[in-house]
Structures are given as C-alpha cells and as structure tokens.
Amino acid sequence: MVQSINFKKYLPVGRPEIAAEAFNNWGVDELFLIDIDASKEKRLIDLDIVKKVSSKCLVPLTVGGGITNVHQIGELLKAGADKICLNQSLKQSLNCLIDGQKKFGKQCIVASIDILKKKDNYKLFDYISGKTTNQSLLKTITDYEKAGAGEIFINDVERDGMGKGYNIKLVDKVSKKLSIPVICSGGAGNPSHILKV
C-alpha cells in the first residue's frame, strides 16, 4: 500500500491486509483496493491480494485495477470484492461497464475518473500517459451514469495527498450533474474537510 501525492510520488505504507485491519478499528465504512500499476502492466489486480484483504475487511470492499471484461468482474467478486471500480478500460469502451451492470447490477459498478485543473478548466487525466485529454468532464460522467454506473468516483490529481481540503467547486459541479452517488478523493487532511465536502 502506498500514499500517493499528485499521482507522481508514492510513499510506501505497508501491506494492504494489515492496513485493512487498522481501518476496521478506525471505523471506516468502506474500503477501496486499487492496483495502480495493473492497467499499465496490462494485467488484472492479484486475486490473492483481494482474498487476503477481503478476509480482514469487515466493511464493503471496492476493488479496481486492470479490469477489462465481465469475466474478470466475476472473478473479483468471487475473490471477495463487493463492488468493482473501473477507470482505464472506460477510456476505450463502455462495454465492461454496460456488461458488468447487466450481469451483476449497477450497485456493484463504480466508474472512476481522474481530474486535473488546467487554468480555469477541469480536464480528464490519463494516468498512463501522464497527460490530460480533450474529453468533456460533464459529458463523460453523464455517459457513465447512462451506461449503468452505480456511483462515480472522482480523483482530484492536483489535491491528491496534499491534505489541504477538497475542491468544493469541482465536487459541486459533478454532483449537480448526476443523480447517482459521488465519491470524492484528493484533499482530505482533517475531519472538517470531510464535513465540508
């Protein structure tokens, strides 16, 4: 497990299954387990790691990393995931999202988006190329909702690991456009930031 800073620097934290036990004790109500190298390396998140973490996890577990088809979604759910997080595969096609929600229900599919502010515009960020894209943020999130995503997970690259608070304008912009839950990542530094977002 690593502490990410701006999607550029990664500080080692420890083994994910041990972290899961700690988070249980701290009272979290959901965990995300994302393999940030899986898509780059064209492989699926390790099923054994999912099994280890899920065996220690007392709350819902959302898993992501290298998922490209509905068969892999089924394998991860068997390994102990409660929900699946899709990011990179959605840049090529919405088929994995559409097929996954049809087979397993939209409540178990989370669509993830990485966002970077450039001047006064919010751009979608491709973490594999390290560059922003020209896709429309609002069109993309509404397309994901229409395709059957049960939740949208937004990662604010600029605030990732900084602990200075969430980008409330961005969260407001996204949540007003959607009728499904929005999960925010990037900026939490203290409990007041969480209450504010």
Contacts of residues 131-136 at CB distance under 8 Å and 24 or more positions apart, as own/partner, are 133/91
Element (H, E) at 86: strand 83-86
**What distance, in Å, lies between the first and last C-alpha atoms of the chain?**
25
Strand pairing class (2-5; 109-118): unpaired
The neighbouring-strand residues paired with 155 are: 114, 185
Q: What is the DSSP string of 104-139?
A: H-GGGEEEEEEEEEETTEEEEEETTTTEE----HHH
Of residues 29, 37, 114, 156, which has the active-site annotation? 114
Q: Are 142 and 152 in contact, with CB atoms under 8 Å apart? A: no
Largest Cα separation within the chain, whole Å, is 44
Is 37 considered catalytic here? no
Q: Are 111 and 144 in contact, with CB atoms under 8 Å apart? A: yes
Q: Report the distance separating Cα 125 and Cα 23, nearest Å.
A: 29
Which residues are catalytic, by number? 114
